[in-house]
Amino acid sequence: MSNDKLIQIKNFDFLYGTNQVLFDVNMDIPEKQVVAYIGPSGCGKSTLLRNMNRMNDLVEGISHRGDITISDKSIYSKDTDVIGLRRRVGMVFQHSNPFPKSIYENVVYGLRIAGRNNKAELDEIVERSLKSAALWEEVKDRLDKNALGLSGGQKQRLCIARTIACQPEIILMDEPCSALDPLATTKIEELIHELKKDFTIVIVTHNMHQAARVSDKTAFFYMGKLIEFDQTENIFSNPSNKQTEDYISGRFG
């Protein structure tokens, strides 16, 4: 049975120094579903996303109140292995960022860091990950070629393959298609539909229709507050909050 509360965000406040950017966010994210975060720039959606694998730990002067749990375990508990957390909660960024290495080495990068060097095992993971990222057919004959020679869409799918290779439970995507053309965007969106069979996905997007197309649930943020969180079909056909309605219909401000 799938877990309706794989990730729980509880009374979560977040501050950069004295500047509070998230206010009392509460949200349960179900397993193997796609959740989209939408909202205007500066609303806190990326900040919340980056808290879910503690990427914000790298920023000076941050602090938080409340908690985020994954499978009922706080990601902020003292015994949390942050590197292990980030392996469990992978991330794909706005701009694809493959390393200047071969396609093969990009996919196995995380595994090598974890000390896994068995060639047969890595070969198998590379094929499986590239297939999952819908890239295998396009690159299977040039795995030793420089990843920087791939197209923008291919690079982004390579980054997804690199994330999948570490076998995370959760994939965070921060505007993964904003630098891609419509065709590459469609491929990533189709991929997200496939990936949710195995992974829980949280995606930040500025593209309303992308949120509508790919997600099961949508959360609308405004000025650091979670305004509405509901099934995507409800948000886009009959939102219960006026601010949500104004934002998704382009009447904001």
Burial state string for 52-69 with b = 16 or more CB within 10 A and e = fewer than 16: bbbbbeeeeeeeeeeebb
User: Could you identify the residue written with the tokens 């099961």?
Assistant: 216
- Position 193 contacts another protein (CB under 8 A): no
Residue (98 or 239) nearer to another protein, CB: 239
For residues 176 and 12, what is the distance between their CA atoms, to the nearest angstrom?
Answer: 25
* Least distance (Å) between residue 210 CB and another protein: 11
Indicate whether 208 belongs to the interface with another protein (CB under 8 A). Answer: yes
Regarding 182 and contact with another protein (CB under 8 A), the answer is: no
Q: Rounded to whole angstroms, how far apart are CA atoms 38 and 48?
A: 12
Cα 249 to its chain centre, rounded Å, is 25
End-to-end CA distance of the chain: 43
Q: Which stretch binds another protein (CB under 8 A): 50-58, 102-110, 222-230, 235-243?
A: 235-243
- Name the residue nearer to another protein (CB basis): 127 or 245: 245
- Per CB under 8 A, the list member of 59, 99, 209, 231 interacting with another protein is 209
- Give the position of tokens 């989209």: 36
Candidates 27-35, 99-107, 121-129, 242-250; binding stretch for another protein (CB under 8 A): 242-250
Q: Give one word for 173, left, alpha or beta, with left for phi > 0 and alpha for psi -120 to 50.
A: beta
Does 248 bind another protein (CB under 8 A)? Our answer is: yes
The SS3 assignment for 86 reads helix
- Pick the closer one to another protein by CB: 115 or 250: 250
Q: How far is the CB of 176 from another protein (least distance, A)?
A: 21
Cβ atoms of residues 70 and 3 within 8 Å: no
By CB under 8 A, is residue 252 in contact with another protein? no
- Per rule CB under 8 A, is residue 75 in the interface with another protein? no
Strands 62-70 and 7-16, how do they pair? antiparallel
**Residue 36 touching another protein (CB under 8 A):** no
Q: What is the DSSP string of 119-145?
A: HHHHHHHHHHHHHHTT-HHHHTT-TTS
Contact status: 172 vs another protein (CB under 8 A): no
Is position 142 an interface residue for another protein (rule: CB under 8 A)?
A: no
Query: Which residue's CB is nearer to another protein, number 18 or number 237?
Result: 237
Place of tokens 């595994």: 111
- Shortest distance, CB of residue 127 to another protein, whole angstroms? 38
Contacting residues toward another protein, per CB under 8 A: 208-209, 212, 236-239, 244-245, 248-251
